[in-house]
Amino acid sequence: MRMLTGLASVILLMGMGHGTVQAQQANTTAAPPAAARTAQRAVPKNAAEIVLANARSGATVTGLSVTSAAGKSVAMLKKPLEPGKKITIKLPKNSGCTFAINASFSDDAEFDQTDVNLCMDKTVRFTD
């Protein structure tokens, strides 16, 4: 069994766009615009769902476990997720934002990631 590690094997996208670079102004003394302050307050305190995307070319996701920061299992994969497919899994209310995600694949690869903030970005995308 081999373990996928690093961003080259499996990518967990957390609030990043593909090839997008954002610049930030050097002046940090000014208050953020009102829209930015509103957006900061709008981050939910609990994740409602997770979107799983299998972008691996030849491997099916055969198992998945999502565990809350409190150690409670909150979601599992009910059926295999074929390459090129995605699904949405509802999470229980009041599960929080931080989760551990463990996945296994048909090619014996595994993915283990802790401290995943699903309130910031609900999409988990597996790639080669």
pLDDT tens digits for range 36-49: 555 555 667 899 99
Lookup: tokens for 23: 């610049």
- In this predicted model, which residue has the larger pLDDT, 99 or 17? 99
Q: What is the pLDDT of residue 33?
A: 62
Structural domains in the chain, sorted by start: 2-14+46-126 (2.60.40.2890)
**Percent over 70 (pLDDT), the chain:** 66
